[in-house]
Every structure is written in C-alpha cells, then in structure tokens.
Amino acid sequence: MQVDLKGQTAVVFGAGRGIGEAIVTQLARAGAKVYVADLIEKNCAHVVDNLAKEGLNGVAVGCDVGKFEQVDGVMERAERETGRLDIVVNNAGIVTLGSFLETTQEEISKLINVNLMGTSNGLQAAVKRMQKYNHGKIVSTASFAGRHAMKEGFAYYGMTKAAIIYLTQAAAYAGADYNINVNSVCPGIIRTPMWEKILDSYVAAGQDRETSWKESLKHFIPLERGDQKPEDIAYAVLFLCSEYADHITGQALNIDGGASMD
Ligand SMILES: NC(=O)c1ccc[n+]([C@@H]2O[C@H](COP(=O)([O-])OP(=O)(O)OC[C@H]3O[C@@H](n4cnc5c(N)ncnc54)[C@H](O)[C@@H]3O)[C@@H](O)[C@H]2O)c1
C-alpha cells in the first residue's frame, strides 16, 4: 500500500511534538504540504526544520485550538497559500489524571476548552471549508479512555474523548453530502510528554517512574508487544487520510494493543 498525497494540503493541530509530530512527518513523507499548528510556536518551527532536513514541505503556525477564529484562520491561510484544503487533523490535547470527585472546576474547564472545543472548532471549520471542494479527509485524536469510564481516574479527560467519538459521527453525517470523510483514532498509552506528565504524578506520590510506566503498560494493554510509538498512530491517520479509506467514515479506530475492544 503506497499512499500518495502529492499536491495535497494538510493542516495538523497539536503538531509541535509527540503524536502530532509523527502525524506531520507521515503526511509530509507521503507528499502533502503540511501546516504545523500548535500553541507552542517554537515547537512548530522545530518540526518544520526537521521536515526541511528530509527535503519536505511544512509551514509553522502558532494557534490556540480553543479559539475558533485562530483554528479557522490557519485553514484560511492554508487555502489562500495553496488554493486547497484536503486534510485536517485535530490532535491537540491535554490530560488530567484526576478522578470524578478530585478534578477541580478549573481543570474541567481547561479539558473542555482544549480537548472538546478545540476538536469541535477544527471539525466545524474543516467541514464548512471543505464543502466547496466536494472532497476532504478529517481525523481527530480521541483515546481508549473515551470508550468507557475507568476506576483509575481520567474522568473528565475521558469525557472529552468520548465526546470526540460522538462528534466524529455527527460531523461525518454533515460531511457525507460533500464527500468528506470524518474519523477518529483512539490511541492506547504512548510515552510522549503527555504521559511523562502522568508519570510525574506517580513520582510525586513516591513511586518509581520506570516501574510505574511498566506497571501502567501491563495494567492497561493486553498485547505484550512492548511500547506503542507515536508512529503507530501516525500510520493509522495516514491510512484514514488516503484513498484507501474512501469508504470509511464516522468511525473511531482503536490503536491500543487491545486496551479497548469495542
Ligand atoms: N500519549 C498517549 O498515551 C495518548 C493516549 C491517548 C490519546 N492521546 C491523545 O493524543 C493527542 C496527542 O497527545 P501526545 O501524547 O502527543 O501529547 P503531547 O502533550 O506530547 O502533545 C500535545 C500537543 O498539543 C498541543 N496543545 C495543547 N493545548 C493546545 C492548544 N490549546 N492549542 C494548540 N495546541 C495545543 C501541545 O502544545 C502539544 O504539542 C492528544 O489529543 C492526546 O489526548 C494520547
């Protein structure tokens, strides 16, 4: 299977590091010009520098996904500069480990603003803009934590990810009349800066970082194939953005070593 995205324009939000950076790299290697958008602008520049080392095309853009105008503005710029918008990936996210009773009002607001409103903003802006092309692929990053509530915590994080799975279906209905595919991916646990933050809280509770990581893997992931990498998610996103996924829409694809089987 060879994915060819030559001549296509892609926008990836939450693209400055971790899973987002891996998604950018795969889309660019397949030939797309990628707008690399993130709250931390210097990270976008770093990702674009890495693309340039491979002779690939990227544009760094600062963007807070919680603000619709900024999200729409990145897509508007991509269209203005390239004359098209083929792919949008809503990957920005933040995490809070807390349980239902522990999570503070401030944490709940932040999670809703970034994870839920950020994705909603990306979905609405993308479907509206792609209608005129009668073509488009949109993928959002949910999580296995969005499949069902967990005793271990992630209460409001999981709620935002469950909402992304739901919104994926709603946006897929809206996009279907215009030949726009809308899907989401549900990663398992991947040791990006986000998971290092979770491990920080285990360390703060007196546990050893590496032991906590190994125990988390054992606890959550049935498939004993070692650590999942950001690339594992990026390959699935690349597939969903390709012609091979033309008949797939409204789906949430688990890429989690069996953590969730629904
Ligand atoms: N790492 C995992 O185990 C895991 C598991 C399931 C789902 N996910 C999801 O995958 C996505 C990527 O996570 P990651 O692990 O690479 O984490 P990460 O923290 O390394 O990357 C998240 C990126 O989102 C950006 N971001 C945060 N708030 C933003 C905002 N308001 N506007 C724009 N950008 C913003 C950050 O700056 C960062 O670059 C997230 O949506 C996360 O919830 C991760």
Distance CA 109, CA 92 (A): 16
> Do 170 and 182 touch, CB atoms closer than 8 A?
no
Distance CA 178, CA 49 (A): 35
Ligand 1 atom closest to residue 40's alpha carbon, by position in its atom list: 37
Distance CA 51, CA 217 (A): 31
Q: Which fold has domain 9-188+229-255?
A: Rossmann fold (3.40.50)
Task: Say yes or no: CB of residue 170 within 6 Å of ligand 1.
Answer: no
Indicate the pLDDT class of residue 152, thresholds 50, 70 and 90: confident
Buried b (16+ CB within 10 A) or exposed e, 215-235: ebbeebbeeeeeebebebbbe
Over residues 49-96, the pLDDT tens digits come to 999 999 999 999 999 999 999 999 999 999 999 999 999 999 999 999
**Is residue 157 flagged as an active site residue?**
yes
Residue 195, both tokens: 């998971």
For residue 20, how far is its CA from the centre of ligand 1 (angstroms)? Answer: 7
More confident residue, 151 or 121: 121
**Is residue 178 flagged as an active site residue?**
no
Task: Say yes or no: CB of residue 92 within 6 Å of ligand 1.
Answer: yes
Task: Give the domain ranges of the chain.
Answer: 9-188+229-255, 191-227
Task: Say yes or no: CB of residue 17 within 6 Å of ligand 1.
Answer: yes
pLDDT at position 66: 98
Over residues 219-228, the pLDDT tens digits come to 999 999 989 9
